[in-house]
Amino acid sequence: MKPAIDIREVVKRYDRFEALRSVSLTIGEGEFFGLLGPNGAGKTSLISIIAGLSRASEGACEVMGYDVVADFRQARRMLGVVPQELVFDPFFTVRETLRLTAGYYGVRGADPWIAEVLERLGLSDKADSNMRALSGGMKRRVLVAQALVHRPPVIVLDEPTAGVDVELRRTLWEFIGQLNRAGHTIVLTTHYLEEAQELCGRIAMLKAGRIVALAPTSDLLRDFSGGRLTLRLSCAPLPAGLQQLRVAAAADSTVAGVERVQLRLERYESLEPVLAALREAGCRIEEMELAHTDLEEVFVRVMQQEYGTDARALGGSQ
């Protein structure tokens, strides 16, 4: 697969603080890629480097084969970025804003495409409104539109759905999905993990400036298969043999001798020995619920460093 984005040993320092600690990552052409991580992990720092908005302290980065520093203009042309922060010029209308962006990239005859993008993002009736007259969610839609004006082969979206209503989320993902099927490479950061799970074919997780997991989404889910078993038991405390499976949860409680606990099952087959242990201890199950592993569960566990020793899951930067 030809790389759309190639990041090699990128370090980013702000004074002495290292926001990125040697990140290496290759995203192939046509991928729908998720870049996940908690607040402050370094996602936006990495995207700023990819977009040529900030310089790496060390390392190099290419977009569609163009170095983001040496070939800045070509690299920038290959890329559409939806920034996390709402930045716009309040004196222009939506349409003018998009025409200006088209002009910046030297795109001619952009009007029909601008009209289509506005339509797809539900902005048609706001096309001639001033930017300052838009609501927050609508401003974000304009940022998305701006990133698409020059039809870049690589589209990077830094939390595009923060503060965006359900309907736009759906239409946005439909539109972005269509662009992806047409061959555009998509890179997405989001804190909505169910969005990432549904959309992204491959995911990198960043933690404190390092890649701590890098794998196809289906592998991540499979490697953490099993699930979380919630029980209400008549026999507090939980039998000693099961304590090690216990996950601390905010909702844990013991009320009138009934204990609510959550256990982590590595595999569904692990359910049998749990039930056997409860039976042996003379425990009655008042209530039981088994939830599937989802990306949120995977994320929490990766962030607790439970995935860090699996070489297959690590990025090349460790």
Ligand X SMILES: Nc1ncnc2c1ncn2[C@@H]1O[C@H](COP(=O)(O)OP(=O)(O)OP(=O)(O)O)[C@@H](O)[C@H]1O
For ligand X, the binding residues (CB under 6 A) are: 14, 17, 19, 37, 39-45, 84
Q: Give 41 or 134: the residue with its C-beta nearer to Mg ion.
A: 41
* E strand intervals along 15-158: 17-28, 32-36, 58-63, 66-67, 79-82, 154-158
Q: Least distance from C-beta 22 to ligand X, angstroms?
A: 15
Encoded amino acid at 176, one letter: I
Taking the least distance from each CB to Mg ion, the nearer of 43 and 95 is 43
CB atoms within 10 A of CB 5: 25
Report the partner that residue 39 touches, choosing among Mg ion, ligand X, none (CB closer than 5 to 8 A by kind): ligand X
Joined together, the tokens standing for residue 19 give: 């926001």
Q: Is 120 exposed, middle or buried (0-12, 13-18, 19+ CB in 10 A)?
A: buried
Is residue 313 within 8 Å of residue 221, measured between CB atoms?
A: no
Residue 318 Cβ vs ligand X, minimum distance, rounded to whole Å: 19
Which of Mg ion, ligand X, none interacts with 250 (beta carbon under 5 to 8 A by kind)?
Answer: none
Q: 273 is in the binding site of which of ligand X, Mg ion, none (Cβ under 5 to 8 A by kind)?
A: none
Among residues 20 and 117, whose Cβ is nearest to ligand X? Answer: 20
Q: Based on CB atoms, which residue is closest to ligand X, 14 or 104? A: 14
Contact 32, 55 (CB under 8 A): no
**Minimum CB distance to ligand X smaller for 17 or for 125:** 17
SS (H, E, C) 222-269: HHCCCEEEEEEECCCCCCHHHHHHEECCCCCEEECCEEEEEEEECCHH
| Nearest distance from C-beta of residue 303 to ligand X, angstroms | 13
Question: Maximum distance among all alpha carbons in the chain?
Answer: 77
Which residues in 37-100 belong to E strands, given as ranges?
Answer: 58-63, 66-67, 79-82
307 touches 313 (CB < 8 A): yes
Nearer to ligand X, 1 or 17 (CB): 17
Query: In the bound complex, what is the minimum distance in angstroms from residue 162's beta carbon to ligand X?
Result: 9
Nearest distance in Å: CB 69, ligand X: 18
**Which residue is nearest to Mg ion, using beta carbons?**
44
101 binds, among ligand X, Mg ion, none (CB under 5 to 8 A by kind): none
Please state the closest distance from residue 163 (CB atom) to ligand X, in A: 13
Choose the one of Mg ion, ligand X, none that binds residue 293, judging by a C-beta under 5 to 8 angstroms depending on kind.
none
Binding site for Mg ion (CB under 5 A): 43-44, 84
